[in-house]
Copies of this chain bind each other. A is one copy, B any other.
Amino acid sequence: MKQDSKHPGGRPKSFDRETVLDAAVRVFWEKGYEGTSLDDLTQAMGINRPSLYATFGKKHDLFLAAIDRYSAVQGMAQSAPLREEPDIKLAIAGYYREIVRTVSSDGTPRGCLIGSVATEVAERDPIVREKIAGNLGRAEQVLDQRLSESGFDTGRPSGAMILSAGLSLAQRARLGSSTEDLTAIAQGYVDHFFPDPVT
């Protein structure tokens, strides 16, 4: 169907790598790692088994690629307010707004692939553990830097607290909280971390 301009000969691939990887993200996100079978994956991705192995390697490799893909897409969306909104309180509010949208959107599983699925697996999978520990560490750094640029060097609130509150939103989403509830809880966090001065 589509293809890079140069083709070395041979039958062209019938699928786009990122498209089918997004489908795999979706399946792992919903069913977890052990809960996802290769039949689940091939059916959702619309490709057959040898194509999957040729493109992504074995199931564990595909899971790592799915984590990377998810991190790239969601990380970009969630950090946008931190880069674009000058007011720190509004920036964090936008950050939480993006999180709430991601973790409670119709059409995608509830919760967070990193915070729920990958973290659960991390106990028995050192590769996954180190990968997402790095991912979350970098997310924390982004928050810390934004906070320090806004004059919150004292570390109150810290990036770790902002991040943990965001992960708790994902956790609540997976347990069934509605978008409205999550939005209200997020607003509570924002007001708590950045209280308006008494008038």
Contact = CB atoms under 8 A, between A and B. Distances in A.
Q: Chain A interface residue count: which class?
A: 35 or more
Query: What is the copy number of this chain in the assembly?
Result: 2
A55 to B, nearest CB: 25
A131 to B, nearest CB: 10
Contacts of A132: 175
B119 A171 contact: yes
Interface string A167-193: 110010011100000000100110010
A44 interface: no
Nearest to A173: B123
Given A32-B32, A120-B32, A156-B192, A136 B175 contact: yes
Nearest to A30: B123
A175 B109 contact: no
A70 B109 CA distance: 27
A94 interface: no
Interface string A155-167: 1111011001101
Given A32-B124, A130-B176, A158-B188, 20 more contacts: A32-B32, A32-B120, A35-B124, A109-B123, A116-B119, A116-B123, A117-B120, A119-B120, A120-B120, A129-B175, A132-B175, A155-B188, A156-B192, A160-B185, A160-B188, A161-B188, A164-B165, A164-B171, A167-B168, A168-B168
